[in-house]
Amino acid sequence: MSPCFTVHRSLCRAPLAIGFLYLSLLLSSFLIAHAQVLQSCTEATNCGPGLYCGNCPALGKTQPICTRGQAIIPNSFINGLPFNKYTWLVTHNSFSIVDAPPLPGVQRLTFYNQEDTVTNQLRNGVRGLMLDMYDFEGDIWLCHSFRGQCYNFTAFQPAINTLKEVESFLSENPNEIVTIIIEDYVHTPKGLINLFTNAGLDKYWFPVSKMPKKGEDWPTVTEMVQENHRLVVFTSIASKEAEEGVAYQWKYMLENEAGDPGVKPGSCPSRKESKPLNSKSASLFLMNYFPTYPVETEACKEHSTPLAQMVGTCYKAAGNVMPNFLAVNFYMRSDGGGVFDAMDRMNGQACGCSTVTACQAGAPFGSCNNVTIPNVSPVTNTAGSTSPLSNTAGSFTGSVQFSKSASKIQSPNSFVLFLFFSISSILIILWIQ
Is 407 part of a structural domain of the chain?
Answer: no
pLDDT reading at 107 higher than 80: yes
CATH number of the domain enclosing 235: 3.20.20.190
Choose the most confident range, by mean pLDDT, from 146-155, 194-203, 381-390. Answer: 194-203
pLDDT reading at 266 higher than 50: yes
Residues spanned by the domain of 312: 70-382
Q: How confident is the model at residue 281 (pLDDT cuts 50, 70, 90)?
A: very high
Residue 133 carries which side chain, given as an amino acid letter? M
User: Number of structural domains, the chain?
Assistant: 2
User: Based on the domain organization, do 157 and 282 belong to the same domain?
Assistant: yes
Query: What is the average per-residue pLDDT within 387-398?
Result: 30
User: Based on the domain organization, do 22 and 78 belong to the same domain?
Assistant: no
For residues 51 and 382, the answer to whether their CB atoms sit within 8 Å is: no
Question: Looking at the whole model, is its pTM more than 0.75?
Answer: yes
CA dihedral 71, 74, 76, 79 (to 10 degrees): -170
User: Based on the domain organization, do 352 and 271 belong to the same domain?
Assistant: yes
pLDDT of residue 83: 98
Is 402 part of a structural domain of the chain?
Answer: no
pLDDT of residue 399: 27
pLDDT of residue 69: 95
User: Based on the domain organization, do 232 and 334 belong to the same domain?
Assistant: yes
Percentage of residues of the chain with pLDDT beyond 70:
78
Is 392 part of a structural domain of the chain?
Answer: no
Percentage of residues of the chain with pLDDT beyond 90:
72
Query: What is the average per-residue pLDDT within 386-404?
Result: 32
Helices (H) and strands (E) in the chain, counts: 11, 12
| Of the candidate ranges 13-27, 64-78, 181-195, 282-296, the one whose mean pLDDT is the lowest | 13-27
